[in-house]
């Protein structure tokens, strides 16, 4: 049964479309895929996802533990900066530990002996529409830049991670980037067992040249004798989830403004960070019969809590539903209690069509998040 709004609704059939492509890439290229928990950590669908993916990759101790306990299979643990207590704790959960710098590797390497050990490398190239998310931005702290220092630690590591993409749906760009990495780091890769190309590659997007992608990955793997890893986040869950909301009021101030019981800042924070409009089931802009224009806004006191401006084929009224599409990535992992606004429940439409509300949040959760 569906809960009252607001709620996130994960559709396993839509999720399955992405997972089948991930499995297809695995079979055709040999590249393993690890779910990036920083993007999506809703473990209520991990039973399905683990059938198609090889494990998880994390950005913190807690994510590593979640991946180990709820997903199983391979658990890769990365952090921009490990503390001593964290690195000692993560040994219990991770198969592979990745360090962000040579100094962190030198400091903690002895504590994770027996694990696969790697470092993140900043290749000085990237694909991103946003400076905020560009891993190779000026003065980036993400990954080792010094090639001499990297060669110096080769005896201590078995692999490297190049995370250099953000929403990259341009295969030609990715292919040329892999060629450049091969040319610059070939002598390093030949001495390693595995390489991760991180996440941010939109290979489950419609019309993406999957066969060419698989051929490129397979060629790279054979050339250097390495196991290739991918770390899909958005690619694993894109187009699988809605944030369902209800109109609470219609106010007028030059335009009709529909206030819903959800919030950008509390429930879809990336919209604010990247200055984006939410995707909506009734598409923005023109179209036959779309005669009613509304600004759809959130219920918090933040003046800029606005999802976007949309044209609907019908008038919105108090009680109307507004469904925000593609609402899985970087939403549930970032939701917060700003203004004490009700946190959306989490529901799942299973493969058999049944709907299960797997989590509701209430006042006790709000209180327990504070002290």
Nearby residues of 243 by Cβ (< 8 Å), 6 or more positions away: 6, 7, 8, 9, 262, 267, 268, 278, 323, 324, 327, 331, 344
Same domain? For 318 and 347 the reply is yes
pLDDT at 281 over 90: no
Same domain? For 94 and 32 the reply is yes
> pLDDT tens across 17-35, in order?
999 999 999 999 999 999 9
Average pLDDT score over the chain? 96
Mean local confidence (pLDDT), 162-178:
96
pLDDT at 284 over 50: no
Lowest mean pLDDT among 17-31, 221-235, 284-298, 351-365: 284-298
Q: How many domains does the chain have?
A: 2
Lowest mean pLDDT among 21-30, 97-106, 285-294, 308-317: 285-294
Same domain? For 207 and 307 the reply is no
In a domain, 7, yes or no: no
Same domain? For 215 and 288 the reply is no
pLDDT at 91 over 90: yes
Burial class (CB in 10 A: 0-12, 13-18, 19+), 114: exposed
Same domain? For 119 and 257 the reply is no
Q: What percent of the chain has pLDDT over 70?
A: 98
In a domain, 218, yes or no: yes
Same domain? For 77 and 118 the reply is yes
Distances (CA, A) of 58 to 86, 96, 135, 184, 261: 13, 10, 16, 27, 32
pLDDT at 288 over 70: no
Same domain? For 161 and 265 the reply is no
pLDDT at 307 over 60: yes
pLDDT at 351 over 80: yes
Domain that holds residue 259: 241-368
CATH code assigned at 364 = 2.40.37.10
The answer to whether 138 and 131 have CB atoms below 8 angstroms apart is: no
Same domain? For 296 and 316 the reply is yes
In a domain, 1, yes or no: no
pLDDT at 287 over 90: no
Q: What percent of the chain has pLDDT over 90?
A: 97
> pLDDT tens across 232-278, in order?
999 999 999 999 999 999 999 999 999 999 999 999 999 999 999 99
pLDDT at 289 over 80: no
> pLDDT tens across 127-141, in order?
999 999 999 999 999
CATH code assigned at 170 = 3.20.20.10
Same domain? For 226 and 252 the reply is no
Identify the pLDDT of residue 1. 82
Identify the pLDDT of residue 283. 47
Same domain? For 167 and 62 the reply is yes
CA triple 223-227-233, angle to 5 deg: 120
Same domain? For 103 and 230 the reply is yes
Mean local confidence (pLDDT), 167-178:
97
Q: Are strands 279-280 and 96-99 parallel, antiparallel or unpaired?
A: unpaired
In a domain, 175, yes or no: yes
pLDDT at 169 over 50: yes
Last residue of a domain, one of 196, 214, 237: 237
Identify the pLDDT of residue 90. 98
> pLDDT tens across 47-73, in order?
999 999 999 999 999 999 999 999 999
> pLDDT tens across 257-268, in order?
999 999 999 999
In a domain, 3, yes or no: no
Same domain? For 301 and 213 the reply is no
């Amino acid at each position: 049964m569906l809960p009252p709004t607001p709620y996130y609704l994960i559709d396993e059939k839509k999720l399955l479309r992405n997972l089948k492509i991930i499995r297809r890439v695995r079979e055709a290229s040999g590249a393993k895929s690890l779910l990036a928990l920083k993007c999506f950590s809703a473990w209520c669908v991990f039973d399905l996802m683990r059938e198609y993916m090889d494990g998880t990759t994390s950005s913190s101790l807690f994510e590593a533990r979640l991946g180990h306990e709820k997903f199983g299979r391979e658990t890769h643990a990365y952090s921009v900066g490990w503390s001593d207590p964290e690195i000692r704790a993560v040994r219990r959960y991770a198969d592979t530990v990745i360090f962000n710098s040579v100094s962190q590797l030198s400091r903690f390497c002895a504590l994770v002996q027996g694990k696969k050990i790697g470092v993140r490398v900043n290749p000085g190239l990237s694909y991103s529409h946003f400076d905020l998310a560009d891993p190779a931005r000026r003065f980036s702290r993400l990954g080792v830049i010094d090639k001499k220092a990297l060669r110096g630690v080769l005896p201590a590591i078995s692999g490297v991670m190049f995370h250099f993409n953000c929403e990259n749906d341009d295969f030609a760009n990715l292919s040329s980037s892999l060629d450049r990495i091969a040319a610059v780091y070939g002598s390093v890769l030949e001495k390693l067992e595995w390489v991760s190309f991180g996440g941010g590659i939109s290979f489950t997007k419609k019309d993406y040249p999957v066969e060419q992608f698989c051929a490129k990955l397979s060629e790279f793997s054979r050339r250097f004798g390495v196991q290739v890893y991918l770390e899909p986040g958005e690619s694993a869950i894109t187009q699988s989830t809605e944030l369902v909301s209800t109109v609470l009021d219609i106010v007028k101030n030059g335009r009709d403004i529909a206030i819903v019981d959800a919030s950008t800042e509390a429930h879809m924070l990336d919209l604010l960070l990247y200055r984006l409009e939410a995707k909506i089931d009734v598409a923005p802009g023109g179209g036959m019969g779309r005669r009613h224009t509304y600004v759809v806004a959130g219920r918090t006191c933040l003046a800029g809590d606005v999802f976007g401006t949309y044209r609907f084929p019908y008038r919105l009224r108090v009680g109307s539903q507004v469904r925000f599409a593609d609402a899985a990535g970087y939403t549930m992992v970032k939701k917060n209690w700003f203004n004490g606004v009700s946190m959306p429940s989490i529901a799942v439409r299973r493969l058999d069509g049944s709907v299960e509300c797997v989590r509701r949040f209430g006042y006790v959760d709000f209180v327990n998040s504070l002290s």
